[in-house]
Amino acid sequence: MFKSGLAARAAAGVTAALISGAAWAEEARSQYNLPVGATEISREVYWLHNFVLIIMCVIAVLVFGAMFYSIIAHRRSKHPKPADFHESTTVEIIWTIIPFFVLIGLAIPAAGTLIRMEDTRDAELTVKVTGFQWGWKYEYVGHDYEFVSMLAADSNKARQLDSGIDPRSVPNYLWEVTNPLVLPVGQKVRFLITAQDVIHAWWVFDLAVKKDAIPGYINEAWTKIDAPGTFRGVCAELCGRDHGFMPIVVKALPETEFKTWLAQKKGVDVASLGKAPPVAEATPVATTTSTAPAPTEAVAAAVEVAAATPVAAAPAKALTKDELMASGKKVYGTQCAACHQLTGLGMPPNFPSLVGSKIATGPAAAHIAHTLKGKGLMPPFASLSDLDIAGALSYQRNSWGNKASVVQPSEVAAARK
Amino acid sequence: MSSHAPTASANTRYFVPDPSAWPFLLTAGLVAIILGAWSALEDKSLGSIPVYLGIAVSAFIIFRWFRGVALESEHGKYNKQVDTTFRMGMAWFIFSEVMFFAAFFGALYYARSLSVPWIGGEGAKGVANIEWPGFEASWPTNGPAALGGAFTNMSAWGLPFVNTCLLLTSGITITLAHHALKDNKRTACIVWMWATVALGAIFLYCQVVEYIHAYKELNLTLGSGVYGSTFFMLTGFHGMHVTLGTLMLFVITCRLMKGHFKPDSHFGFEGVAWYWHFVDVVWVGLFIFVYIL
Amino acid sequence: MATAHAHDEHDHSHDHHHGPDKGIMRWIKTTNHKDLGTLYLCFSFTMFFIGGLMSLVIRAELFQPGLQFVDPEFFNSMTTLHALVMIFGGVMPGFVGLANWMVPMMIGAGDLALPRVNNWGFWILPFAFALLLSTLFMEGGAPAGGWTMYPPLVLQTGNAFPLLIFAIHLMGISSITGAINVVVTILNMRTPGMTLLKMPLFVWTWLITAYLLIATMPVLAGAVTMLLTDKYFDTSFFTASGGGDPVMFQHIFWFFGHPEVYILILPAFGIVSTIIPTFARKQLFGYDSMVYATASIGFLSFIVWAHHMFTVGMPLAGELFFMFSTMLIAVPTGVKVFNWVATMWKGSMTFETPMLFALAFVFLFTVGGFSGLMLAITPVDFQYHDTYFVVAHFHYVLVPGAVFSILAAVYYWVPKWTGVMYSEFWGKVHFWLSAIFINVTFFPQHFLGLAGMQRRVPDYNVMFSDFNMLSTVGAFVFMAAQFIFIGNMLYCMFGKRGQVPNRVWEGAQGLEWTVPSPAPYHTFEDPPFLTDSETTVHWDEADETLTGVRR
Ligand code: HEA
Ligand code: HEA
Ligand code: CUA
Ligand SMILES: [Cu+2]
């Protein structure tokens, strides 16, 4: 396949990737080839890819060899009198049959791998993954724990049009999230993948898992990670404006550490509100993952974050304006500011300013309905908790010179009905 | 230089029409309709004038165009080869129509046999049921969210059955008309044609009654989930084709009354008859897959 | 009436009895296949440039990581419109234009079978694209859901949505009428003696293409109609809560979409099968198997559609079926490639511009075919899908595939159309710049895709910077090189006529070379004679008074 002007560079690259294999790929991702990955399946896929690639190269050499030989040897100056054969049933049958057998040779191992990839039985842990515009929600099924994961703040800042920030200065630019998905090593983990609004696709390069997230339906996939590490991925189905900005980060922890991690998370979050992601700035993950982190450190970090999350009793009682503004500011920062900006000025014409906005200073009911349902480019936020929505709205209604009533969680709850 | 077939007389030559502005104007008419429809669906800025204007222009051009063709034909401009062109053209056009319906029949098949069972927890992708607890697959259905509210499905053995009989009969009457034309029994032909037109019109009337019944009494609407969608889109597009077919039959009948068509050369007639049979066959498909099963 | 006049097309290039109208009305009212062919080609050319400019917006934004020029939403609109304009506005009308010009001349017919319908099919297109492109100036922006228009995303389109749908309906009408015209012309208007298996391959491939068009464009029309009713009339074809499924749209779309990609390549196969024998001065190897291979590709194209949807979560049996059927397409396509090489084998080749483009086609299309085969391997496609590897694959088959074949065809036949020989020197410069920089543009995209850069994004991780930069540079130079082509064509259109012989290329065979260059406004009003022996005429025996048909 390397017949272009880039042939030399290409060939060198692929050979390098092929030869240096797994060890090389763990340190830095290959610039030229598929990642070898961190699971048995991903290595099978990698092997299959190389296998097909090599066969294609062999066929290419033969076909193009004949063609270029003919171009050179049978040009008019060399070969003035053309032959006049124009048919040969034998030859034609041969070159129909041979490719057919080559294809069978490719199809057999491919089918084997495919069958193994689709076998989601006997999983030890199930994680439900829900894509939304533009982030992911993860739910540890049966453990009553879930959280939301979005593009990390520093990438998000740098990626704005004319941000003035050099992406090269941002570690893991566009490949960092607020909350990574944490998984145990050595266990078969089943993913139930779905979406809230439009189709997304959950793809982690090193796990060789890519499955579309279809609203209203559930797709299954599985993985079994060999060793602790951080694995990255992206949304791989066009899902609107910020399709390019909904990465995925998976952190694999040894089984026992994973257990502690989950227990701690549940202990803290389940009692409180659970769904709000910790504020991006407070997440140390962004810095620890750029170099392969010691797993324990990550756990510690995660716990720290969890503990820092404001703990409030189930919000039956009315909250004070200050409480709402404080928690709302954080929710606003993680959920709304991507579009409406921290200044509230938005990015007209696509994302309207909230400063003095009729909806954000008008009746609360309309404001709540707008947020729950979304409108146009704005996604629905019904997946946030009542408290989060109440906070974010209260914050919007009383910042940047806006002056309007605060919104209580109970109002949001009522609006949901 | 190529050598030529011996002396080509006028009517052995293939008819090549003069330059014509009809196609361009027809496109302009269509575009006006589109702009009007766009405005009606979105920002409402244009009002309804473009739609009416577009329909008027298009209808006028179509009338002129077909009249032109009819006149060319009556003046003997068309030779056998042109006749074959029209036949083949019509056959391929009908094939393209078949494929249009195939898309909707495909949607019906997919919804009934795949997507509804999946969300109901059956089949290879049955895990989808987690998202829709309590939903059990059945047909007809308006989906797990019961869109459009409870409804009753359309029974096959009332009006739809009557309609089937009407259309099948019309298939017979048009065949009788065709034989009459071939035997040069013009009056008989015209009578059978009027019978066919009448059957088509009665079919349409019944269809309208059925729709009103569905909307008013059965609460079965376009919004009734995927059953309502497939039901109305399939029968609706079929109904539009019947409307068109009936109009074409009507025109042909008028032309017969004006003395057009000859026992051995009447493509216009046959083309419409083919179209009518196509509409008929689609209905039989509908009756089986939409109403009975 | 015009046809009443006995008429000889040899002695003058201008017919006084039913010559064209004057001025703009000539073009609006024309029913002449040559006029309409010219219109189609000019339209296609314009669209290629608009689509090309859009691709440059895409490439400029991707030159570096970070967002420099456009909002992501606008970027997505560019991707969407780039693809729609290139496919429905560039390649398809380009091929229809060539069919208009060449099919009647190749089979000895006076015109297409339905000349007025032909005019209608053309004039729909400028309107359709005016509507589509007008959405760029609308509230909520142009459609940005990708050319595949998957719901529910595409339903989020603003004001522009109905125009997207209606524009596609119009393109569908245009394609279907055009295709019916071609089928009927081929089946009904061949000169006596030209049996199906004596038709030039360009005619054969167009016959099958037209069949694919008639079978699939209505399906696309149905699919987008369902989108329209889902958005505005409460239907729930593609909504789970009503029992529908967003994936259902994908099935219906790709049932159209896959045959569509062969619609974009089969006429190219025909062109290459015409050009290579001419410049190899040797009859096409394996004419019959070429025909059967084309037909098999046409057939197989209907049963492989879901290879675009391996990741949507189909049942395993479906995935296996679509993997195997897709791989099978390599067999007939291989037969074609091998036949082209065998045609060159022991020929006596010269390398004029059309031949250069045709050879580059064989080479680079096959590279694209190989990556296509890799994509067909389902478990690995999970890694490739929706990455730049796919983008690289389809640009290899579309740009040095379909577009190069159009360029080759134009160079090959333009002296016949205008009576002026293009500049061979500038033709070659154009070729070499195009051939080199198309690879600079798209080859690195293979690596980007494998390394993990997903499609349809305006920004990327910094590790992809180098190859993206290279690709952008390639795209700009490639586009610049096309201006040479414009110059060359303007020269042909307005240069001094009548300098070229009837048979422009010494090795060329087929009825089109028996009429003067430029071809008179009306050719073959009376069918030319064909005798059996003419189908085996050789280049060195070619006699200007004989009508030969290339097998
Ligand atoms: C002209 C257009 C064209 C053509 C001809 C092809 C040809 C082929 N394509 Fe391609 N394809 C596209 C246009 C085209 N494609 C487009 C536009 C898309 C993306 C759409 C989108 O998502 O936007 C796409 C996407 C696409 C996918 C989906 C990828 C994904 O999204 O994940 C797949 C997967 O199977 C595929 C496969 C193939 C195959 C197997 C062929 C085969 O026909 C190729 C056969 C040719 C050869 C194999 C080479 C010659 C053969 C030999 C020399 C014989 C010996 C060879 C062997 C035995 C291997 N294509
Ligand atoms: C035929 C189709 C076609 C053609 C020609 C091209 C041409 C080009 N394409 Fe495109 N492209 C697509 C079809 C095509 N593309 C499709 C289907 C997609 C997917 C969209 C989606 O994801 O929804 C896509 C997407 C796509 C992307 C990915 C965007 C994304 O994922 O966000 C990129 C990025 O680099 C790109 C670049 C280019 C470039 C640089 C060219 C350059 O080659 C452009 C320069 C070409 C020309 C200027 C034309 C020259 C031709 C002539 C001069 C002909 C003369 C003709 C006559 C005489 C009649 N294209
Ligand atoms: Cu989510 Cu792309
Ligand atoms: Cu395909």
Distance CA(C454)–CA(C461), nearest Å, equals: 10
Q: Chains A and C: how many Cβ contacts under 8 Å?
A: 317
SS3 at position C12: coil
Structure tokens at A78: 């060399």
SS3 at position A203: strand
SS3 at position C64: coil
Length of chain C: 551
Is B124 at the interface with chain A, CB within 8 A? no
Q: Are strands A125-132 and A200-204 parallel, antiparallel or unpaired?
A: unpaired
Do B94 and B192 lie in one domain? The reply is: yes
Angle at A68 (CA atoms; ends A64, A71), nearest 5 degrees: 140
pLDDT score recorded for residue A23: 37
Q: Are strands A200-204 and A189-195 parallel, antiparallel or unpaired?
A: unpaired
Q: Please report which helix (H) or strand (E) contains residue B1, including its range.
A: none
pLDDT score recorded for residue B154: 85
Chain A residues with CB under 8 Å of C346 CB are 70, 74, 79, 82-83, 85
Examine the pLDDT at A288 and tell me if it is beyond 70: no
Residue B200, CB-side half-sphere exposure with 13 Å CA sphere: 29
Tens of pLDDT, residues C417-460 = 998 899 999 999 999 999 999 999 999 999 999 999 999 999 99
- With CB atoms and an 8 Å threshold, state whether B118 touches A217: yes
Closest CA to C206 of C228, C184, C227: C184
Closest CA to C358 of C394, C400, C396: C400
- Residue B251 gets the label, from left (phi > 0), alpha (psi -120 to 50) or beta, of alpha
If pLDDT is split at 50, 70 and 90, which confidence band does A347 have? low
Angle at C380 (CA atoms; ends A189, A140), nearest 5 degrees: 15
Residue nearest to atom 17 of ligand 2 (CA): C83
- With CB atoms and an 8 Å threshold, state whether C440 touches A33: no
Do B87 and B54 lie in one domain? The reply is: no
Residue nearest to atom 49 of ligand 2 (CA): C48
Distance CA(C43)–CA(C93), nearest Å, equals: 7
Residues 6+ apart with CB under 8 A from B254: none
Residue nearest to atom 49 of ligand 1 (CA): C369
pLDDT score recorded for residue A339: 67
Q: Which amino acid is at B83?
A: D
SS3 at position C389: helix
Residue nearest to atom 32 of ligand 2 (CA): C456
Q: Please report which helix (H) or strand (E) contains residue A148, including its range.
A: strand A145-149
Do B34 and B158 lie in one domain? The reply is: no
Tens of pLDDT, residues C301-336 = 999 999 999 999 999 999 999 999 999 999 999 999
Q: How far is CA C178 from the centre of its chain?
A: 14
Give residue limits of the domains in chain A: 14-76+87-117, 126-293, 309-416
Do B263 and B136 lie in one domain? The reply is: yes
Is B125 at the interface with chain A, CB within 8 A? yes
Do B103 and B232 lie in one domain? The reply is: yes
Examine the pLDDT at C528 and tell me if it is beyond 70: yes
Mean pLDDT of C69-96: 94
**DSSP assignments along C68-112, one per residue:** -SS-HHHHHHHHHHHHHIIIIIIIHHHHHHHHHHHHHHHHT-SS-
Which ligand has the minimum distance to the alpha carbon of residue C325? 1
All partners of chain C with 3 or more CB pairs under 8 angstroms:
A, B
If pLDDT is split at 50, 70 and 90, which confidence band does A302 have? very low
Mean pLDDT of A63-88: 90
Is A220 at the interface with chain B, CB within 8 A? yes
Examine the pLDDT at C194 and tell me if it is beyond 80: yes
- With CB atoms and an 8 Å threshold, state whether B92 touches C214: yes
Q: Are strands A219-223 and A189-195 parallel, antiparallel or unpaired?
A: antiparallel
**Scanning every residue of chain B, which has its alpha carbon at the shortest distance from the alpha carbon of A193?**
B128
ipTM of this complex prediction, to 2 decimal places:
0.88
Residue nearest to atom 3 of ligand 1 (CA): C261
Distance CA(C341)–CA(A67), nearest Å, equals: 6
Tell me the whole-structure pTM to 2 decimals: 0.86
Mean pLDDT of A100-105: 94
SS3 at position A201: strand
Do B22 and B102 lie in one domain? The reply is: no
Q: How far is CA A366 from the centre of its chain?
A: 33
Report chain A's terminal Cα–Cα distance, integer Å. 59
Residue C349 pairs in a beta bridge with A75
Q: Are strands A219-223 and A125-132 parallel, antiparallel or unpaired?
A: unpaired
Residue C330, CB-side half-sphere exposure with 13 Å CA sphere: 29
Dihedral sign, Cα of residue A403, residue A407, residue A408, residue A409: negative
Distance CA(A141)–CA(C252), nearest Å, equals: 34
Residue nearest to atom 24 of ligand 2 (CA): C83
Is A139 at the interface with chain B, CB within 8 A? no
**Scanning every residue of chain B, which has its alpha carbon at the shortest distance from the alpha carbon of C246?**
B115
Tens of pLDDT, residues B164-212 = 999 999 999 999 999 999 998 999 999 999 999 999 999 999 999 999 9
Cα(C295) to centroid of ligand 1, in Å? 17
At the topology level, CATH places domain A309-416 in Cytochrome Bc1 Complex; Chain D, domain 2 (1.10.760)
pLDDT score recorded for residue A348: 63
Instruction: Please give the share of chain A, as a percent, with pLDDT higher than 90.
Output: 36
- Are C276 and B135 in contact by the 8 Å Cβ rule? The answer is no
CB crowding B205-236: b at 16 or more within 10 Å, else e: ebbeebbeebeeebbbbbbbbbbbbbbbbbbe
pLDDT score recorded for residue C10: 40
Residues of C noted as catalytic = 82, 111, 147, 174-175, 258, 260, 262, 273, 307-308, 333, 336, 455
Distance CA(B15)–CA(B34), nearest Å, equals: 33
- Are B227 and C243 in contact by the 8 Å Cβ rule? The answer is yes
Do B164 and B33 lie in one domain? The reply is: no
- Which CATH number is A126-293's, of 3.40.50.2300, 3.40.980.10, 2.60.40.420, 2.130.10.10? 2.60.40.420
Q: Which amino acid is at B172?
A: I
Say what angle helices C287-300 and C266-280 make with each other, to 10 degrees. Answer: 160
Is B130 at the interface with chain A, CB within 8 A? yes
Structure tokens at A85: 């054969």
- With CB atoms and an 8 Å threshold, state whether B19 touches C26: yes
Mean residue pLDDT of chain C comes to: 89
For domain A14-76+87-117, the CATH class is mainly alpha
Examine the pLDDT at A209 and tell me if it is beyond 80: yes
Lowest mean pLDDT across A5-19, B214-228, C485-499: A5-19
Domain boundary among B28, B57, B78: B78
Q: Pick from A29, A79, A238: which is nearest to C346 by CB?
A: A79
Cα(C40) to centroid of ligand 2, in Å? 19
Tens of pLDDT, residues C369-402 = 999 999 999 999 999 999 999 999 999 999 999 9
Q: Pick from C2, C232, C234: which is nearest to B18 by CB?
A: C2
Mean residue pLDDT of chain A comes to: 79
- Are A46 and A29 in contact by the 8 Å Cβ rule? The answer is no
Q: How many CB atoms lie within 10 A of CB B187?
A: 10
**Scanning every residue of chain C, which has its alpha carbon at the shortest distance from the alpha carbon of A98?**
C331
Structure tokens at B112: 């009934």
Examine the pLDDT at B93 and tell me if it is beyond 60: yes
- With CB atoms and an 8 Å threshold, state whether C184 touches B19: no
If pLDDT is split at 50, 70 and 90, which confidence band does C133 have? very high
Chain C residues with CB under 8 Å of A32 CB are 447, 450-451
C507 lines ligand 2 (CB under 6 A): no
- Are C399 and C420 in contact by the 8 Å Cβ rule? The answer is no
Tens of pLDDT, residues A382-392 = 767 788 888 88
**Scanning every residue of chain C, which has its alpha carbon at the shortest distance from the alpha carbon of B43?**
C159
CATH of the domain at B85: 1.20.120.80
Residue nearest to atom 1 of ligand 3 (CA): A200
Do B104 and B35 lie in one domain? The reply is: no
All partners of chain A with 3 or more CB pairs under 8 angstroms:
B, C
Distance CA(A312)–CA(B151), nearest Å, equals: 46
Instruction: Please give the share of chain C, as a percent, with pLDDT higher than 90.
Output: 75
Is C138 at the interface with chain A, CB within 8 A? no
pLDDT score recorded for residue A396: 87
Q: Which residue has the higher pLDDT, B48 or A334?
A: B48
- With CB atoms and an 8 Å threshold, state whether C73 touches A203: no
Structure tokens at C348: 């006596």
**Scanning every residue of chain B, which has its alpha carbon at the shortest distance from the alpha carbon of A119?**
B124
Domain boundary among B52, B78, B104: B78
Edge to edge, the sheet with strand A229-235 lists: A181-184, A248-253, A229-235, A200-204, A209-213
CATH of the domain at B39: 1.10.287.70
Mean pLDDT of C504-516: 85
Distance CA(C436)–CA(C431), nearest Å, equals: 8
Distance CA(C198)–CA(C193), nearest Å, equals: 9
Distance CA(A55)–CA(A68), nearest Å, equals: 20
Q: Pick from B20, B27, B143: which is nearest to C242 by CB?
A: B143
Dihedral sign, Cα of residue C263, residue C267, residue C273, residue C275: negative
Do B95 and B7 lie in one domain? The reply is: no
- With CB atoms and an 8 Å threshold, state whether A31 touches C447: yes
Mean pLDDT of A111-115: 93
**Scanning every residue of chain C, which has its alpha carbon at the shortest distance from the alpha carbon of B229?**
C235
Domain boundary among B47, B78, B109: B78
Mutate to test the interface with C, among B58, B119, B135, B229 (most CBs of C within 10 A): B229
Is C278 at the interface with chain A, CB within 8 A? no
Which residues does a 6 A CB cutoff place in the pocket of ligand 1?
A: A 59, 63, 99, 102-103; C 148, 261, 264-265, 307-308, 326, 329-330, 333-334, 337, 366, 369-370, 372-373, 375-376, 381, 384-385, 390, 393-394, 397-398, 401-402
Structure tokens at C178: 């055009």
C47 lines ligand 2 (CB under 6 A): no
Examine the pLDDT at A257 and tell me if it is beyond 70: yes
**Across chain C, which distance is largest between two alpha carbons, in Å?**
72
Q: Which atom from ligand 1 is nearest to the alpha carbon of A60?
A: 53
SS3 at position A192: strand
Do B227 and B114 lie in one domain? The reply is: yes
Select, from the ranges A37-46, A321-330, C542-551, the one with the highest average predicted confidence (pLDDT): A37-46
- Integer CA distances (angstroms), C110 to A415, C6, C48, C98, in order: 72, 14, 30, 16
Do B62 and B91 lie in one domain? The reply is: no
Chain B residues with CB under 8 Å of C183 CB are 88, 92
Closest CA to C344 of C282, C273, C408, C400: C282
Q: Are strands A145-149 and A189-195 parallel, antiparallel or unpaired?
A: unpaired
The residue range of the domain holding B145 is: 80-292
Report chain C's terminal Cα–Cα distance, integer Å. 37
Do B47 and B178 lie in one domain? The reply is: no
Select, from the ranges A47-56, B264-273, C502-511, the one with the highest average predicted confidence (pLDDT): A47-56
Cα(A235) to centroid of ligand 3, in Å? 4
Tens of pLDDT, residues B12-41 = 778 888 888 899 999 999 999 999 999 888
Distance CA(C161)–CA(C383), nearest Å, equals: 32
Mutate to test the interface with B, among C165, C245, C321, C547 (most CBs of B within 10 A): C245
